[in-house]
Amino acid sequence: MSTVAGTTVEIQRGDTPLVMAMPHSGTDIPADLLPRFVSPWLARKDSDWWIEQLYAFAADLGATIVRTPISRSVIDVNRDPSGKSLYPGLATTELCPTTTFDGEPLYHAGEEPDLAEIAARQATFFDPYHTALAGEIARLRERNDRVVLYDCHAIRSHVPRLFAGELPQFNIGTNDGATCDPALAAAVVDVCSGSGLPYVLNGRFRGGWTTRHYGRPAGGINAIQMELACRGYMSEPDGPVTPANWPAPFDPATPLAATLRAVLISCIAFATGKP
């Protein structure tokens, strides 16, 4: 395992045909941008908290991990750079978000990024992340007939503006089967089903831009998104989240890690053809 660290992208390089993308676990915000946000807490509120800790075991499996340390409030590297909505008709956030998931303004009035600034952020943060991700996929695809891209995400269990009710623990996305072989989706579903926890395939979260952009099963690249409900590995408050209660600490004893290990093992088995 080799590690490449940078200010806009971090790579942990493994040799199994599994690439894990972590687009939303970063919390870094450039110092010159911080005063423009309503608050540093609000600008980090919707991070995919503790994802790198939850999947810390992945390095032992030989997975390659590509992560950006940059906060999604600066730029969301899992959004279509053209600005096209991934979920037409449903609430979502932009390439450079101007509101939180709950609809709160992120910026002081008049401090939102304009088109020129959005383009500059794309060149500085978005493009290096995807150059790295594409490069790692290509590196492993040269050595293997099949590669799995596993896009790692997490979100609060209750976000009324985005979805009704409580989100299942495991939200598996393949864009309705377009981004990966059905056998891979079936293997992941089988593991999640066996956990006894609620799961859904292609529910509210069917896969973001990363999954849809790279998933080409006919070309040997099988992409799948896993959106986890945060309650599986941290305590979620009963009411609104505030700076006093969010994010809650990571639970290192979470049993969810064992299920996720089994999920990743099933992804590697699919890619290698060796159960």
Phi first, then psi, for residue 11 (nearest 5°) are -130, 125
Q: Which pLDDT score is estimated for 85?
A: 73
* Model pLDDT for residues 138-194, shown as the tens digit of each residue: 999 999 999 999 999 999 999 989 998 999 999 999 999 999 999 999 999 999 999
Q: What is the pLDDT of residue 90?
A: 67
Q: 197-212 as b/e, with b when 16 or more CB fall inside 10 Å?
A: bebbbbebbbbbbbbb
The predicted structure's pLDDT at residue 9: 95
User: How high is the pLDDT of residue 2?
Assistant: 55
State the 10-residue block means of pLDDT for the chain, 275 residues long: 70 97 97 97 98 97 98 96 76 88 96 96 96 98 97 96 94 97 98 97 93 97 98 94 97 96 98 85
Strand, helix or coil for residue 171: strand
Question: What's at 242, amino acid-wise?
Answer: T
- What would the two tokens of residue 149 be? 């891209």
Integer distance in angstroms from the first to the last C-alpha of the chain?
Answer: 23
Q: What is the pLDDT of residue 270?
A: 97
What pTM does this model have? Answer: 0.95
pLDDT value at position 1?
47
pLDDT at position 93 is 79
Q: What are φ and ψ of residue 69, in 5° steps?
A: -80, -5
State both tokens at 12: 């942990």
Q: Give the domains, in start order, of the chain with CATH numbers.
A: 2-272 (3.40.630.40)
**pLDDT of amino acid 86:** 76
> Are 9 and 135 a contacting pair, CB within 8 Å?
no
Which of helix, strand or coil describes residue 225?
strand
